Every structure is written in structure tokens, then in C-alpha cells.
Amino acid sequence: MSGFNTKAVHAGGGADPQTGAHATPIYQTSTFTYFDAEQGRALFAGEREGFIYTRIGNPTTRALENKVAALEGAEDAVAFSSGMAAISALLVTVLKAGDEVAFLDPIYGGTDGFFFEILTKFGVTIHRCHDLQDLTQVLSEKVKVVFFEPITNPTLKVWDFSEVVKQAKSVGALVVVDNTFPTPYLFRPLEHGADVVVHSATKYLSGHGDLIAGLVAGKADLVQMVRFEGLRHLGGALGPFEAFLLLRGIKTLHVRMEAHSRNALQVARHLQGHPAVKAVHYPGLESHPSHKEAQQYLKASGGVLAIELDGGFPTCARFLDSLKLFTQAVSLGDVESLACHPASTTHSPMPEEARQAAGVTDGLVRLSIGIEDPEDLIADLEQALAACAMVHEMV
């Protein structure tokens, strides 16, 4: 199995060894029977392979982990009950008091909150870096993790990936990449020198907005450590039903990512230069500051774009409240189009000053472009922008 699309469909699957079931069965069980006490002892001692308890592993979840590992080009992967459970379990596993983390801003607001509100309580120092110059300044042997999103949420900046990896490796830091936005279809960080990939599988991997899940993928020994420390002790295990839904969703990842990217580019091109839109952030646009990096690293530019409107929150609220086809909701990566105001929702955990500096302004609206007909999406955006313009004229 070498092609990505073939792996998306087949990896982790295959007929169930017990029954021949073609679709991976949902092993909806909390615990697994040992057939004698010796088997139990050997499983706990790690002398035998097998399942013990669903918090640590489950056959449906295992099939998902194998699929995602195959797609990311990782030796192994471990699934969690959310993206935040995956990120927190990984970092709690690899860090200790006195260590430092450097991250490239912006990142998802929940991750930002976890860094500053939780990790700092345990003696970890966090460095917020706005660019690669900032990163160079803070790097030292104490920095154990460099964390970033290859396409930033919600500003859609694409980092010079190889340069970040080079800098992080110069001090021996672990390069942790949140690959939620690109997914392995558009970009595979491990092939470009990253050590670990994390996912909010809630988004594109699922694709259907019907579950919450996360994953960590990387070298087998590190993933094993995350499973036995971060998963077993913190307990954020994924349920087998969600794993089943994800296995099903990922089978169409390649088809969906092409459709999301195609639609997003068409919408971005339409909105660019629109009199009611101050700026369009989408790396697929030739005018975007990260277009060169997007061309260099990404198969396509993905399904998320952001627009800036004059008038801050009141204008954005009017625009969002006027949308009819787009759903006003946080999250992204669903087949349905979604819209949100990051400053007051997803990125509200960030301090105001940091938020402004990272470009998460009060006038920014994030659009997660679904796979509907692009003409219908554009018509909806047009009528919502017209509603904002009417209010401006009345004021």
C-alpha cells in the first residue's frame, strides 16, 4: 500500500479476524476477559500483546491509530478523547518542572490557555514567539519543545517549516506540530523533520462534525510512553464508537480535502477586493504573504480562510447573524460551512495584547468552507456582507 488515497481507504482496516466483518466492528466494551490468571499477569507485565482495558487500548481504537500512523508516515499513533486531551497528555509526558516550551503564535486558543494556565503551574516556562527571529532569541538547551501549527489558526499563516525545524533541532528540542488544519493529505510534518504530530481529529479527519477526538503520532517509543503515561494516568481515552466514526470519515479524507481547498480558493478569490472586506487571509491567494510557503509545503491550501471587516465586533456580529447557509459555530473541517468570530470565542483565552499582536483582531471572522456548491456559499456571504453595508449606511 503506497498511495495516500489507498491508505486512507484501506489502512487499519481489513476483515475482522473473528467474524470476517468487512467494516471494523465497534468493540463496545470497557474491559477484556483473561482466559486464565497467567494471561492477565503476562499482559500486565508486557510479555504478551493483547487488550486489557479500553482506557489503555481497544481493537476499534487500535485500527484508527494504525490508519492515522500510516497516513502521517509515523511508526505509531495513540488516540484520545479530544485534541486537547492529546496535546495535554503529550506535553505532560515529555516535560518536567524547569523545562521551557517555545511556540509560534498564534495557535488554537485552547492550546494557548493550556500552556499559560496549566503548564506554568507545574514550573514550565512558556515563550510566545511572533516570528522566527523571536524563536532564535528564546532558544536554549532548556527549551525542550517547539510547538506550532503549519497553517496557523485563525490567521492562516504558513511557516517556513524547514527553518523552524532547523532552529529547534539546533538546541535538541522536540518538534511538535499540530497538523489539524492541513491534515496528512495536504502536509506530512514527519517527512519534513518534525518529531511528533498532534491532531484535533474532531475537525477534518472526522469531517462530519459528529464527534470529538484527538491523536498523537510519531516514533514508536515516544508514542508508547505517551500511551502509558499520558493516556493511562490522565485517562482521556477515545470511545470505540468515535473511533469507528473516524475510521469511516477518514476513508474520504482525500476527496473532502480536495473539495474544501477548491471551494475555499474560489470563495477567497471572490472576496478579495470586495468593497465590504478589508482583507482576505488565505494562503492559496497569490497576494497572501505566506503564498510562497504554501506552494512549497502544501498540496493545496485547505478549507479555512479568514476575512477582516471594518467596525470590529458589532460589524462581525451583524455579518454572522445574517448568514443563512453558513452555520454560526466554532470548530472547522466539517462538510458543512461554518463561521465564527475567533476573538470572542475560540481565541478568547488569549490575553488581549497577545491576541492583537498575533492578528486575531476584533474584525476577524473565520470561515470554514464546506463542500457545498461554491456559488451558494458565495451568494450567502454576499447577502450577509450587504446586510453589514446597510447598517453602516444607516449609522
Ligand X SMILES: Cc1ncc(COP(=O)(O)O)c(C=O)c1O
Q: Which of 61, 180, 206, 263 touches ligand X by CB under 6 A?
A: 180
Least distance in Å: CB of 332 to ligand X? 6
Query: Which range touches ligand X (CB under 6 A), out of 78-86, 167-175, 224-232, 287-295?
Result: 78-86
Which amino acid is present at 355? R
Contact between 319 and ligand X (CB under 6 A)? Answer: no
Strand partners, 183: none
Least distance in Å: CB of 120 to ligand X? 19
Ordered alpha helix ranges (H), 251-298: 253-271, 291-297
Q: Which is nearer to ligand X, 139 or 300 (CB)?
A: 300
Contact between 293 and ligand X (CB under 6 A)? Answer: no
Least distance in Å: CB of 275 to ligand X? 31
Least distance in Å: CB of 374 to ligand X? 23
Contact between 212 and ligand X (CB under 6 A)? Answer: yes
Strand partners, 104: 129
Query: Which range touches ligand X (CB under 6 A), out of 11-19, 178-186, 278-286, 356-364?
Result: 178-186
Catalytic residue among 108, 185, 204, 297: 108
Contact between 110 and ligand X (CB under 6 A)? Answer: yes
**Residue 59 grid cell:** 481493537
Least distance in Å: CB of 82 to ligand X? 3
Contacts within 8 Å (CB) and 24+ apart, 374-378: 374/262, 374/263, 374/266, 374/267, 376/325, 377/263, 377/267, 377/325, 377/326, 377/337, 378/266, 378/267, 378/270
**Residue 97 grid cell:** 518542572
Contact between 204 and ligand X (CB under 6 A)? Answer: no
Contact between 84 and ligand X (CB under 6 A)? Answer: yes
Q: From CA 135, how far away is CA 70, in angstroms rounded?
A: 31
Q: Which is nearer to ligand X, 178 or 380 (CB)?
A: 178
Strand partners, 125: 100
Phi, psi dihedrals of residue 9, rounded to the nearest 5°: -80, -45
Q: Which of 61, 88, 167, 200 touches ligand X by CB under 6 A?
A: 200
Query: Which range touches ligand X (CB under 6 A), out of 2-10, 104-112, 248-256, 270-278?
Result: 104-112
Catalytic residue among 62, 203, 256, 366: 203
Distance from chain centroid for Cα 240: 21
Q: From CA 389, how far away is CA 363, in angstroms rounded?
A: 14
Q: From CA 208, how far away is CA 202, in angstroms rounded?
A: 9
Q: Coil, helix or strand for 302?
A: coil
Ordered alpha helix ranges (H), 203-239: 220-225, 232-234
Quick check: 237 and 81 in contact, CB under 8 A?
yes
Please say if 41 is a catalytic residue: no
Contact between 60 and ligand X (CB under 6 A)? Answer: no
Least distance in Å: CB of 94 to ligand X? 17
Least distance in Å: CB of 178 to ligand X? 5
**Residue 299 grid cell:** 498540496
Q: Which is nearer to ligand X, 83 or 230 (CB)?
A: 83
Q: Which is nearer to ligand X, 83 or 240 (CB)?
A: 83
Q: Coil, helix or strand for 10?
A: helix
Q: Which of 54, 82, 93, 167 touches ligand X by CB under 6 A?
A: 82
Q: Which of 149, 242, 334, 362 touches ligand X by CB under 6 A?
A: 149
Please say if 53 is a catalytic residue: no
**Residue 174 grid cell:** 522536540
Q: From CA 90, how far away is CA 144, in angstroms rounded?
A: 13
Contact between 159 and ligand X (CB under 6 A)? Answer: no
Catalytic residue among 16, 55, 169, 248: 55
The beta strand positions in the chain, using DSSP E, are 76-80, 100-104, 125-129, 143-148, 174-178, 196-200, 214-218, 279-281, 304-308, 327-328, 338-340, 364-368
Check residue 58 and report its DSSP letter: -
Contact between 88 and ligand X (CB under 6 A)? Answer: no
Q: Which is nearer to ligand X, 167 or 200 (CB)?
A: 200
**Interface positions with ligand X (CB under 6 A):** 82-84, 108, 110-111, 149, 153, 178, 180-181, 200, 202, 212, 214
Catalytic residue annotation: 55, 108, 178, 203
